[in-house]
Amino acid sequence: MSRNPKLDQQAREILQRNDRGGYTVPTHGLYPFQWNWDSAFVALGFAAFDRDRAWQEIETLVSAQWDDGMIPHIVFHQNDDGYFPGPGVWGTGKTPPTSGITQPPVLATIVRALWEQEGAVAANPRMRALYAACLRSHRWFHSYRDPLGNGLVMVTHNWETGRDNSSEWDDALARVDTSGVGTYQRRDTGHVDAAMRPKQSEYDRYVAILQFGKNCGWDHREIADHGPFRMVDVGMSMELLRANRDLLVLAEAIGDAEGAAEIRDWIALSEAGIDWLWNEEAGAFCSRDATMLESSGLVTNASFLAFYAGVGSDTQRARLLEALDRLTTNAEYLLPSLEAGSREYDHRRYWRGPIWLVVNYMAAQGLAEQGHADWAERIRADSARLIEKSGFFESFSPETGEGSGGDDFSWTAAMWLVWCGK
């Protein structure tokens, strides 16, 4: 039972207001299209009061899946000049128009959750269709985004990680040539305070990476091998491993022996390769540059997804818990997206410090599953306190609890309904 029926109602109303008929925008104005991992978490929120609409959210997203299996990070279902970069800038030539990159592979995990909530019936046609889409998506990741052959996910644009301006990407972004970017008009800073968004110098690099992809016709092999940005992301590596575990449950349920064998091989590869991301000095799993082979050495909220992925030795998990405890010395609320005192930490600027409840949700779920119920509850309670204090914002300051970014945010509302408000 919810602790706050009034906030329950507000959360439902946010999802309904942001519903555009089959898909949900993250928030009005700032993000006027369908985003990949946003929709996955939004589906969990809808499932709390409208199960058909929950399935529909994901079905609409995967209807834009590319022939090669990639599920794009944005689907431009309708025109909106208030967003940059729009479909014309991406130039992917798809119908409906989409971006040319992907986002964190959390869909299989959400599909499993929806399916189990309805009794885990193997014949469920909606689950079976989405299983097939997720399997193709995971094949795409293992084909195009594992250049080192260790089961870890390399990203070719920082936007793919979902943690757009994390300090993890700074060194790699600094090497991106922006001389050919030209002029463009950002739209994000017209919707929210510029102090909460990436700086202009960073945005130029984001656009330069996009232009490389467009100029090579969105050839994912070319982009992976020769693109200007190649980072092995700790967050997506953990999320894909977890999603593969969940996809395996679905494969076994429907009797897809061939698919199950393929997924088991992916899981084994990732489990064997994950130590490549371990940074002994930081005491955490950290993102690494796939070109320079250097670790970021930064403890971020994504580092704690190791529990969610079910990886790490006893010693490594103990070090992660030490890092988690260390975060509490500077953070009034958990889980900051970057450890205070780290390079470019800023408690208000996007992914350089602010708390994001979907990462809190995954980290807390993993901690609970691995026997750390006290930490899981701390993160859940902090997440609830943030909403109770500041409302349904995109993100929150770990120091003050102040909301940042967009308001009436869909996935924050969903997290209240499905998790932290319970």
Residues catalogued as catalytic: 164, 394
Q: How far apart are CA 358 and CA 364, in angstroms?
A: 10
Q: How far apart are CA 414 and CA 421, in angstroms?
A: 10
CA angle centred on 58, ends 55 and 61, rounded to 5°? 150
Maximum Cα–Cα distance for the chain, whole Å? Answer: 56
Cβ neighbours, 10 Å, residue 196 = 21
Give how far Cα 344 sits from Cα of 64, 66, 198, 248, 406, Å.
Answer: 36, 36, 12, 39, 22
Based on DSSP, count helices (H) and strands (E) in the chain, helices before strands.
Answer: 16, 9
Q: How far apart are CA 89 and CA 218, in angstroms?
A: 13
**Could you say which DSSP state residue 254 is in?**
H
Helix (H) or strand (E) holding 289: strand 288-289
Q: How far apart are CA 110 and CA 105, in angstroms?
A: 10
User: Inter-axis angle of helices 234-254 and 257-273, to 10 degrees?
Assistant: 150
Q: How far apart are CA 412 and CA 394, in angstroms?
A: 7
